[in-house]
């Protein structure tokens, strides 16, 4: 298929970056320039695990769930669809790279698939329900975390072992509070409305969550949060929050690696709404609660972090061709190594 020839087309662009591994990159004296690893026709979410990328590849008529690893792009045995995939990459019960994906046909159900040739798509029968949507899935060594949408403003997160009996209920994990206090007019508390779970990431016993919502009666701007919980607990900690302004401030991610939660604060409406002392790549050490920032002013559409490298996709505007009078970044998944992390005070990130 012609689109799969992008492996050859981009090998010259990738060059030395493919000789790097995340394990050895930290020993380099100077970080190399950003490198294109996958060319895209349209913007896509991107998730990473152990050097594997999972993304949605537009083939000219539909999206295909695809992987990239060591310079090779391969479509997974998942039916194509009109929109980007709600999917995550992580280790299966044996530690092998795999994906979990939410596919919708009437309602949305969960499926898993390995990355080896011959692996087949398998439904997660012990978690799927009839009439409700299972969304935002993430997987780690045979454990699944996901959310179920019971109503537009009623989204509940669960965790379950893939090998558990269907008769055993999934365990609930911590979620958003029903009300948000001090969000827009302290000390008033407002009911949360128009709730969206943008994504989750499972790593060991930790689950990071990215939320967007509007406090009731506060039209226009939305509230954004990154929260963290333990699979054995029903409470969460808020590790980042902000209000979406005219710049379209948005959290991309989250990712978890090396004991840190990482995410990216982008301004998708106008990069002028972001400043390098508060925006860009952010990481939070789970054990100490300390924050670090690699400042950027970007309107990227997707971002993921491996623990050493980060991967981003330019804005949807750039991927669609942008303004003919303004240079735009090529539509692709781009890899960077060696971000310039600097300590930052918690109040800068938590709002």
89-98, 165-174, 196-205, 215-224: the lowest-pLDDT one: 215-224
Can you point out the beta strands (E) in 166-322? 171-172, 179-181, 189-203, 206-215, 223-230, 236-243, 249-257, 260-267, 280-285, 291-295, 302-305, 309-313
Long-range contacts of 188-195 (CB under 8 A, 24+ apart): 190/215, 190/216, 190/217, 190/218, 191/215, 191/216, 192/153, 192/216, 193/153, 194/152, 194/153, 194/222, 195/152, 195/153, 195/154, 195/155
The mean pLDDT value for 116-144 works out to 95
The answer to whether 317 and 26 have CB atoms below 8 angstroms apart is no
Q: How confident is the model at residue 229 (pLDDT cuts 50, 70, 90)?
A: very high
Domains belonging to the chain, first-starting first, are 2-22+32-350 (2.120.10.30)
Query: Is residue 276 within 8 Å of residue 297, measured between CB atoms?
Result: yes
- The whole-angstrom separation of Cα 22 and Cα 58 is 28
Residue that is written with structure tokens 């969460």 in the block: 236
Q: In the numeric block, which tokens belong to residue 312?
A: 């981003």
The predicted pLDDT at position 15 comes to: 42
- Prediction pTM value: 0.88
198-209 pLDDT, tens digit each: 999 999 999 999
Distance, in Å, from the CA atom of 214 to the CA atom of 58, rounded to the nearest integer, reads: 32
pLDDT in tens, 39-75: 999 999 999 999 999 999 999 999 999 999 999 999 9
**Nearest alpha-carbon partner for 101 in 126, 137, 67:** 137
Residue 127 has pLDDT above 80, yes or no: yes
Looking at mean pLDDT, say which of 44-53, 229-238, 267-276 comes out highest.
Answer: 44-53
CA–CA dist 80, 279 (Å, integer): 35
Question: Is residue 293 within 8 Å of 342, Cβ to Cβ?
Answer: yes
Q: Does residue 184 surpass a pLDDT of 80? A: no
């Amino acid at each position: 298929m012609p689109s799969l020839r992008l492996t050859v087309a981009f090998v010259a662009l990738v060059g030395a970056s493919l000789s790097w591994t995340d394990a050895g990159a930290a020993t380099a004296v100077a970080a190399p320039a950003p490198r294109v690893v996958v060319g895209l026709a349209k913007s896509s979410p991107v998730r990473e695990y152990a050097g594997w990328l999972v993304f949605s590849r537009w083939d000219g008529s539909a999206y295909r769930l695809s992987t990239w690893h060591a310079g090779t792009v391969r479509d997974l045995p998942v039916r194509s669809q009109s929109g980007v995939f709600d999917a995550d990459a992580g280790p299966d019960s044996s530690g092998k790279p795999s994906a979990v994906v939410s596919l919708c046909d009437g309602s949305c159900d969960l499926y898993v698939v390995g990355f080896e040739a011959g692996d087949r798509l398998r439904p997660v029968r012990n978690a799927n329900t009839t009439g409700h949507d299972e969304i935002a899935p993430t997987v780690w060594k045979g454990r699944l975390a996901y959310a179920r949408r019971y109503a537009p403003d009623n989204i509940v997160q669960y965790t379950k072992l893939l090998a558990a009996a269907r008769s055993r209920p999934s365990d609930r994990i911590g979620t958003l509070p029903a009300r948000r206090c001090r969000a827009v007019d302290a000390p008033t508390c407002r009911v949360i409305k128009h709730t969206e779970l943008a994504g989750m990431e499972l790593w060991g016993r930790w689950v990071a969550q990215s939320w967007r919502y509007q406090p009731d009666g506060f039209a226009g701007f939305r509230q954004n949060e990154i929260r963290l919980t333990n699979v054995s607990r029903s409470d969460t900690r808020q590790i980042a929050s902000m209000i979406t302004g005219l710049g379209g401030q948005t959290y991309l991610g989250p990712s978890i690696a090396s004991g840190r939660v990482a995410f990216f604060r982008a301004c998708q409406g106008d990069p002028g709404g972001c400043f390098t002392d508060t925006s860009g790549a952010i990481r939070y050490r789970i054990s100490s609660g300390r924050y670090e920032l690699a400042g950027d002013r970007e309107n990227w559409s997707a971002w993921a972090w491996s623990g050493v490298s980060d991967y981003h996709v330019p804005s949807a505007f750039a991927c669609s061709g942008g303004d003919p009078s303004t240079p735009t970044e090529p539509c692709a998944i781009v890899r960077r190594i060696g971000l310039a992390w600097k300590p930052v005070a918690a109040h800068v990130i938590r709002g």
